[in-house]
Amino acid sequence: MSSLTPEDVDAVCGLVDDLCGIYWDEEKSYLIESRLASLVEENNCENYAALVRKVRADVVPGLKDSVVDAVTTNETLWFRDNSPFEAIRHKAIPEVIDERSQTIFPKKIRIWSAACSTGQEPYSIGIALADVIPDVDSWDIQILATDISPSAVEKASRGVYSKLEIGRGMDTSHLRDYFVEQEDSWKIHDRIRAMCKFDVRNLLKPFSGLDKFDIIFCRNVAIYFTGEDRRSLFERLADSLAAPYGWLFTGSSESLSDLGDRWSPQQHCRSNCYRPNLVEATMA
Ligand SMILES: C[S@@+](CC[C@H](N)C(=O)[O-])C[C@H]1O[C@@H](n2cnc3c(N)ncnc32)[C@H](O)[C@@H]1O
């Protein structure tokens, strides 16, 4: 295969933006080669631009999904950064439970892990819920876990992790209580799996058909988007929270301070979290 040309770079960056909203430019040439070279070869393409044409023509079943899987970065771990999980245990969940108790659905909780990668985030949320709600099995809880990467969602849905993956953040007492040991891996317990629903979803597409959520985790994904896509995403997430409540958790280095007064920053257990400000209805 010939080396990467400016035409290849333009074609790939345009495709990655169109498929996932992920912003790549010529500075990401090393990623283009490391992530896509094998697909170029396997699909008998003479160069990267030819691979892009094949993907856009949509003539090879599964090729689009393979590109999405290859260009996304699925790095994740259990209880990532710890503080958001402390904040839901000690602040957000108790408040949601209080607020729900005043409604006709006192035992309903809806949570969205919006970019769930291989499942460590939604299952960590489920475990945190089970930690603080003694009769959790009698609650109507749903953790919607979505990601654009079909292979990540498939792995998340299986809920089986190698010892190496478990070693990245899972402590022994939660491992004992919430996993079942298999030959050389660990499977998330059915109690936690039953709370979760998995789906492939692009966050830059409209959130059609989704419920309102009490808590949203949207962590370490918007960092890959352009400023405009990031602004639109957080605007739509504000509308997806169950007004006037709702909690949004972002990544530890992600601040929403540049997004005007749509979000109120909160500090609980040292985590970055936000509550939406109500938008005044504009008079016609
Ligand atoms: C670095 S991981 C973060 C996973 C998890 N939220 C965490 O903080 O550990 C980023 C995830 O965002 C997903 N992603 C990238 N672009 C996306 C998009 N447009 N819509 C939905 N998910 C996307 C990737 O597939 C990847 O699994």
Q: Stretch 263-283: mean pLDDT, rounded?
A: 82
Residue 227: give its domain's CATH number: 3.40.50.150
Q: How far is the CA of 120 from the centre of ligand 1 (A)?
A: 12
Q: Which of 15, 23, 147 maximizes ligand 1 atoms within 8 Å of its Cβ, making it the mutation to test the pocket?
A: 147
pLDDT number for residue 237: 96
Q: Are 229 and 192 within one domain?
A: yes
Lowest mean pLDDT across 167-181, 212-226, 231-245: 231-245
Smallest CA separation from ligand 1 atom 26, residue: 74
**Cβ–Cβ under 8 Å, residues 123 and 192:** yes
pLDDT number for residue 272: 85
Q: Is the CB of 148 under 6 A from ligand 1?
A: yes
Q: What share of the chain is helix, strand, coil (3-state, %, to 5)?
A: 45, 20, 35
Show the domain range for 51: 6-71
pLDDT number for residue 284: 44
Residue 63: give its domain's CATH number: 1.10.155
**Count of domains for the chain:** 2
Percent of the chain with pLDDT over 70: 98
Q: Are 61 and 97 within one domain?
A: no
Q: How far is the CA of 64 from the centre of ligand 1 (A)?
A: 17
Q: Are 127 and 196 within one domain?
A: yes
**pLDDT tens by residue, 45-55:** 999 999 999 99
Q: Are 137 and 190 within one domain?
A: yes
Cα(195)–Cα(141) distance, integer angstroms? 6
Residue 60 has pLDDT above 90, yes or no: yes
The answer for residues whose C-beta is within 8 angstroms of residue 233's C-beta and 6 or more apart is 203, 204, 218, 222, 225
Residue 145 lies in a domain: yes
Cα(241)–Cα(217) distance, integer angstroms? 11
Predicted TM-score (pTM) of the model is 0.96
**Cβ–Cβ under 8 Å, residues 127 and 192:** yes
Q: Stretch 151-179: mean pLDDT, rounded?
A: 98
Q: Are 90 and 63 within one domain?
A: no
Q: Are 164 and 259 within one domain?
A: yes
Residue 176 lies in a domain: yes
Q: Are 136 and 59 within one domain?
A: no
pLDDT number for residue 269: 87
Residue 172 has pLDDT above 50, yes or no: yes
Residue 103 lies in a domain: yes
